[in-house]
Amino acid sequence: MPNGKPAGVRCLHLSAESLCTIFGQPERPAVCSGFAADIEVCGDSREEAIRLIGWLELATA
Ligand code: SF4
């Protein structure tokens, strides 16, 4: 996304199956490549990840 991805906005590179369509490609942002999944951010399911990330966005706004 040319101007960065705002919080709460679905990334343009996310497929319908919620997979990164530019994974492993040089245009993938460094912040994405540098992020390692963490139980404290991702939980153990997609639903928990969305809840946790929503809380983090509110807490850091
Ligand atoms: S890893 Fe980064 S570029 Fe890929 S879908 Fe997620 S936010 Fe978008």
pLDDT tens for residues 7-44?
Answer: 778 899 999 999 999 999 999 999 999 999 999 999 99
With 0.95 as the threshold, say if the pTM is over it. Answer: no
Ligand 1 centroid – CA 20 distance (Å):
5
- For residue 1, is pLDDT > 90? no
Burial classification of residue 43, based on how many CB atoms lie within 10 Å of its CB (0-12 exposed, 13-18 middle, 19 or more buried): middle
More reliable by pLDDT, 16 or 5: 16
Ligand 1 atom nearest to 31, measured from its CA: 2
Ligand 1 atom nearest to 22, measured from its CA: 4
Ligand 1 centroid – CA 51 distance (Å):
18
Q: Where are the alpha helices (DSSP H) in 1-61?
A: 30-33, 39-42, 46-60
